[in-house]
Amino acid sequence: MRAAMEVSVSDVPVLNGSVAVCPDASGSMSPPAKGYRQGATSVVCCIDVAALVAAAVLRENSGVHILPFKVAVREVPPEARDTIVADAGKPPAPGGGGTNCPAPLSMLNAARIAPDLVTLVSDNRSWMDANRGGQATTMVAEWTKLKTRNRAAKLVCTDIRPHGTTHAAERRTC
């Protein structure tokens, strides 16, 4: 299994610049990634997918900030010699706690870190700012702060099980 996992991520690209990967580790990440289907429910949970994305990016990119979050963030120190299976198991196990999607951006801003790429991997079932009547969400506000320190920064939000709302709607960049 370990060898197959290593081969499966061998084509992950080396990314230019600094990178932060933010896997959601909240309770809503416990269900199967493809939902429940009688006789065909996957054993792969959303948290497994998020952890694998973080581990795969870490495998080919040194110095990546791994910032798993629930209500708050707990940075995971990368171990370059670990296997993909070991790295994928590092983010905190799901269970309890809400989803605070802006938390990783808030932490980066508090530390005055402005990576070139921030990728958030979540089911996007956040309890924060779910409906603000057309106003910018806290996530957009935190992203705007980060973007002022690094105008070239990119934010990628991957929704494993998309829902009808978003915290950072696509917008035209300058």
Phi-psi domain of 26 (left: phi exceeds 0; alpha: psi -120 through 50; beta: other)? beta
Any domain includes 37: yes
Cα 174 from Cα 139, distance rounded (Å): 19
Any domain includes 100: yes
Task: Count CB atoms within 10 A of the CB of residue 117.
Answer: 20
How far, CA to CA in Å, does 15 sit from each of 111, 113, 144, 173? 22, 17, 22, 20
122-140 in b/e form (b: 16+ CB < 10 A) is: bbbbbebbeeeeeeebbbb
Look at residue 72 in the predicted model and tell me its pLDDT: 85
Backbone angles phi, psi at 73, to 5 degrees: -105, 145
Any domain includes 39: yes
Look at residue 168 in the predicted model and tell me its pLDDT: 59
Any domain includes 10: no
pLDDT, tens digit, 9 for 90 and up, residues 96-116: 567 888 899 999 999 999 999
Task: Tell me what the pLDDT averaged over the chain comes to.
Answer: 78
pLDDT band of residue 174 (cuts 50, 70, 90) is very low
What is the span of the domain harbouring residue 107? Answer: 18-159
CATH number at residue 130: 3.40.50.410
Any domain includes 32: yes
Backbone angles phi, psi at 66, to 5 degrees: -100, 115
> How many folded domains does the chain comprise?
1
- Kindly tell me if the per-residue pLDDT of 147 is higher than 90: yes
Any domain includes 136: yes
pLDDT, tens digit, 9 for 90 and up, residues 37-72: 788 777 888 888 888 888 889 888 878 899 998 888
Cα 65 from Cα 149, distance rounded (Å): 17
Look at residue 165 in the predicted model and tell me its pLDDT: 55
Any domain includes 27: yes
Any domain includes 169: no
Look at residue 173 in the predicted model and tell me its pLDDT: 55
